[in-house]
Homo-oligomer: A and B are copies of this chain.
Amino acid sequence: MSLPDAFHDIAKRVNNWGRWGAADELGTLNLITDEVVREAAATVRTGRRIPLALPLTRDGVQTGMIPGRIDPLHVMVQINQELFGPGTVACSDDAVTMGLQAATHWDALPHVSHSGRLYNGRPAHSITPHDGAEFSGIDKVRHLVSRGVLLDVARARGTERLDGGHAVTPEDLDAAEELAGTRVRAGDIALVRTGQVQLCLAGDRHGYAYPSPGLSIRTPEWFHARDVAAVANDTLTFEVFPPEVEDLWLPVHALHLVEMGMPQGQNWDLEKLSTACGETGRYAFLLAATPEPFTGATGSPVAPVAVL
């Protein structure tokens, strides 16, 4: 089995290999220039901050279907331990075990490969058990602050939540961009709201996982045309699931991460942000969403904050 021609046609049109040099490991994050960040800071009007991460708990979003992607197991290593003798200041310490892609997270570029290749043509076998990803690991993203734009597809379509299985199309993105009142531009981080995370917040993990609305295989070209730096949304699978084309699994992952070199965010809670943007009519903001610098990792939890 191999990937169909339809995939390869799109791949050619969105491919960014070599665009920032043969040695590049950052992909579309190169589009976040100092100027972009200056303008992002200038979008701040009220100073209000809205967090976009789901809580990191044992009872998280995972259903157990992806065995290694375990919800955070947070444990207390010591509680009120008087390390220096009775009556001294007492310390409490914790530890955690978790899948790096288990909760609100960024996919690093090497999170997927296809045809033996990673972004910029690096060989898939450059990921090793001992060192993780040699190229484009999440640690290479040293900072991730830019202008964020909420593309509220659910609202633009006049619904609270897209149906499970709805494929978000370029036309949906056009409508959401029009609602946002600002053109998405180079270096922006696009946050695509489907409303699906409401199921997760209501405790229905299985309904949240499947079936899920998400990005259509046609959207990478839209993001490529706008030259966005990254895209995140409020679903577990990111792209529509089950997939649009039979037996073509995770094509959007492959186009974004491998062909374009564009990081993806999943399990972002965009509900409060949607309310705030709806109230003010402003859908652009400063977004601070730097991943934790795990050396060689193919993803990282993130606690994104929108500053309005």
- Interface of A toward B, CB cutoff 8 Å: 1-3, 33-42, 44-51, 53-59, 64, 66-81, 83-101, 110-114, 124-125, 127-130, 132-133, 139, 142-145, 247, 249-251, 253-254, 286, 288, 290-299, 301-305, 307
Contacts and interface: CB of A to CB of B under 8 A. Distances in A.
B41 A286 contact: yes
Contacts of A144: 305
Contacts of A254: 89
A251 B89 contact: yes
Nearest to A287: B288
B100 A95 contact: yes
Closest 7 CB pairs of A and B: A68-B77, A288-B288, A37-B47, A34-B47, A38-B47, A41-B44, A58-B67
A294 B95 CA distance: 10
Contacts of A1: 85-88
Contacts of A78: 68, 129-130
Copies in the complex: 4
Given A41-B42, A73-B97, A76-B127, 9 more contacts: A70-B73, A76-B76, A77-B99, A89-B114, A89-B251, A90-B124, A92-B112, A97-B97, A292-B301
A196 B124 CA distance: 39
Contact of A49 (B59, B76, B145): B145
B111 A95 contact: no
Contacts of A37: 44, 47-49, 307
A101 to B, nearest CB: 6
A293 B174 CA distance: 33
A78 B95 CA distance: 14
Contacts of A142: 49, 51
Residue of A35, A55, A286, A294 contacting most chain B CB atoms (<10 Å):
A294
Contacts of A249: 83-84, 88-89
B47 A294 contact: no
Given A80-B127, A98-B96, A303 B290 contact: yes
A41 B306 CA distance: 12
Of listed A38, A249, A288, A305, residue having the most chain B CB within 10 A: A288
Contact of A75 (B33, B45, B124, B129): B129
Task: Kindly name the residue among A96, A99, A130, A290 whose own CB sees the greatest number of chain B CB atoms within 10 A.
Answer: A130
Contacts of A288: 145, 288, 290, 305
